[in-house]
Structure 1
Amino acid sequence: MDVAILGATGLVGQMFVRLLENHPWFKIERLVASERSKGKKYKDIAEWPSGDIGEMEVEGLGDFLKDPDVDLVFSALPSSIAGEVEEKLAEKTPVFSNASSHRYEEDVPIIVPEVNGDQLKLIEVQQEQRGWEGFIVTNPNCSTAILVLSLKVLSEFELKKVNVVTMQAISGAGFKGLSALQIFDNVIPYIGKEEWKIENESRKILGLDFEISAVTTRVPVSHGHTEAVFVELGQDTTVEELRRAFESFDPLRDLKLPSYAKPIVYKEIPQPKLHRELGKGMSVTVGKLGKINEKMFKYVILGHNLVRGAAGGSILNAELTYRKKVI
């Protein structure tokens, strides 16, 4: 299938290109960015590309929209412009979006394949209500994407309450994010709208009504979001039983998806520098699992924010949709 990547010069856009470069199902045909990148070779904007992709010429978004002749689109556009653009494209073409513009609309699924792949059935509702031939599927905020994998496991033990504190990497803020002077020797306990996103996206993805509260911080780490999680469960269980549940969780194992990796790996002390690349960035690491009282537990989870939390998650969504013959 021929694909286009919108926002191809940003951090997430470049990760899309990296992950799709030799993909067996999806072939990059068009790289799309802002007008200031129009006409430049991709290798002159992103440092790592070589070969055919490096030689590809970047298109301006306006030109692409005049003739978006591809089988599907991956969108890494800023949310400020993604909404209208993605709706226009979805009239004819499937759009897999990393932007937040459509996540909270009732007929648009936020998908984490291991957690709620069955919600792809909303595509039919969306197409019928909007008269589209294509559709929009979103993936969640990066911290949410990492968190809900573990919460899906815990939902089997009757999830009642979640408190989470995130320690998020600098790359989560994009190229225009924090300066080195702001983040050096510092922790910044504010990321705009992030706490609201975690709280609301988690409930929508899991389809559960539970209490959840988040505190988000930015820390001086390049890649990899770490989260300290405290949960209250409705069922009596043990640390050993929860650890076995985490380690055995593997719902996509038999689907043979190209981006598949074991979703949860247990390591006693998760660390970005050591564990963010597990499963080529698609595995998240759970550790420091402990019991607070009969119903309350705590643990740490870590995931690569640009892979599992962004481009890789969106590609996995497209692969699952392709495997289910929706596209």
Structure 2
Amino acid sequence: MSSTVSHQRDKRSFDYAIRSGIAGGLAGCIAKTAVAPLDRVKILFQASNPDFQKYAGTWTGAYRAGLAIYRDGGTRGLLQGHSATLLRIFPYAAIKFMAYDQWRALLIPNRDKETNFRRFTAGALAGMTSVTFTYPLELVRVRMAFHSRLSSNSDGQTRPSFLRAMRVIYNEGSTPSPATRTTTAQVFERFPFLKFYRGFTVTMVGMIPYAGTAFLTWDFLRAHFFPVIDDHSKRPHSLANLAIGAVSGAISQTVSYPFEVVRRRMQVGGLTRPDRWLRWGETVRAVYASGGWRGFYVGLGIGYLKIIPMTAISFAVWQGGKSLLGV
């Protein structure tokens, strides 16, 4: 019992948290870079970019969309918005994995407390913690990835820089006429930083099933195949971590995907309705009107292509990084 208490005390230490966070941040960057082209295509599909709707709905469509992006902008086109992704993903992944270790140690202080509900709760709280701190960077990334050749700005710039995207978001709806100024526009004018939180509520709600299910599956499968016996367990091989991470990603993506589609629509809503905050109800109705129930799963196939390897890589690299850093 004393060894277990000591182990948990170490997990709650500042040194452990920092090392776990660094490992998680690097894991997130490596995993995101591996799937960056797929991520851009998926965002274009989810947000109903008019240039790419003709490709949506099929596996070959995702490939043809990727080719169209490459022909128009080369490798830079496939990686458009990735600079914002890396700026966001390191703190996001670092906080998420670090918070998971801390929440798990708090909710599951010993094996007697280890239940699937507590595993799910620890994962959900970790995801919500990371999103709260890094959401503005996510919004900027989505805006950068959404722009395409035909939806470029009037000055002809087709690849908005990170700073330019931030300025555009900050200035959205800043000068509406007094006759058409809405209550939300007045709030945006008084608290302009809120413009960087478009789609935040649906993101937080969607993060509960996504992160909760991902960490629940990860923790459950590791405990099932590598059980702790007499305070010791066999360390999973890297391939095992990859496989468990892949399964975790597939299940969590399926559960949370409709929330992600609604979130993307709300995030790019400032481009079409800059004077106000798009609400849940009207966004859900718009998605349903354009594609029925299938509209909530547009891009899911490419989502699997992205999420499964990304989650597998991130979990495996996180564990490998923690091992290298001595935690």
The interval holding the TM-score normalised by the smaller chain is under 0.3
TM-score relative to the length of structure 2 = 0.25
Q: TM-score, normalising length from structure 1?
A: 0.25
Pick the structure with greater CA Rg: 2
Q: Which has the higher contact order (CA 8 A, sep 6+)?
A: 2
Higher strand share: 1
Which structure features the higher share of helix residues?
A: 2
